[in-house]
Structure 1
């Protein structure tokens, strides 16, 4: 398991549910202070459905910052990284 806790900002960026979903469930259980996931609103809606089917609570799913990062019009990977870090800092 991932060694994360309430002082951890957890960010899921693989776009692979087989990797991201179990990690998100672990982040919920470990009460990470920030939980974010890369993807569009449509992708996030599907993610929520999968997580609910695996027993996630609505309150946990609501904790996921998605689409991730501050809305600064980020497009490139480096811009997206800055937007994510800005949101984590704001939280």
Structure 2
């Protein structure tokens, strides 16, 4: 019998949006340790997903203060560049196995330019970021988007290329 010991799979969700609760709930069901960070204390109090740790802090500060080990996924779900961009700038400096941020193809291209120009990120760092986030399932509702995000995280976690699906 082979016994492998590794850190628990962790999902750090940067920001609270309509996608956050279903994404956190899926992740808990999949066995992830889930941590949600948002600077809005009222939004943090209102988020009620069993098994989820919530921190009323700027996600970028949480990510830079804590170790995101190789079994960590970091996702930004707000569409707010002040939260999402800063979280991405910190996440690429970690060992996180998955880093992703929401937005259309056009928004993602603009974000990549911003991260390069303002954030000083290299092309290699920007290439680590899944943007747009998630599998292209044609998702419309918050739950469908959350499913697409978690499906993509599981795909990467298991080392599957998109063309293998």
Which bracket does the TM-score occupy, shorter chain normalised? over 0.9
Structure with a larger share of its residues in strand = 2
Equivalent position to 2:77, from 8, 13, 16: 13
**What does residue 144 of structure 2 align with?**
79
> Map of 1:3-82 to 2, 5 A cutoff?
3=66, 4-53=68-117, 54-82=119-147
Gaps of 5+ in 2: 1-60, 157-165
Structure number with bigger Rg = 2
Higher RCO, 1 vs 2 (CA within 8 Å, ≥6 residues apart): 1
Greater than 3 Å deviation, 4+ residue runs: none
Gaps of 5+ in 1: none
> For 1:71 and 1:39, how far apart are their aligned partners in 2?
12
The CA RMSD over aligned residues, in Å, is 1.0
> For 1:86 and 1:49, how far apart are their aligned partners in 2?
27
Give the TM-score normalised by the residue count of structure 2.
0.53
Give how far 1:5 is off. Answer: 2.7
| Count of residue pairs brought into register by the alignment | 91
Matched position secondary structure for 2:144: helix
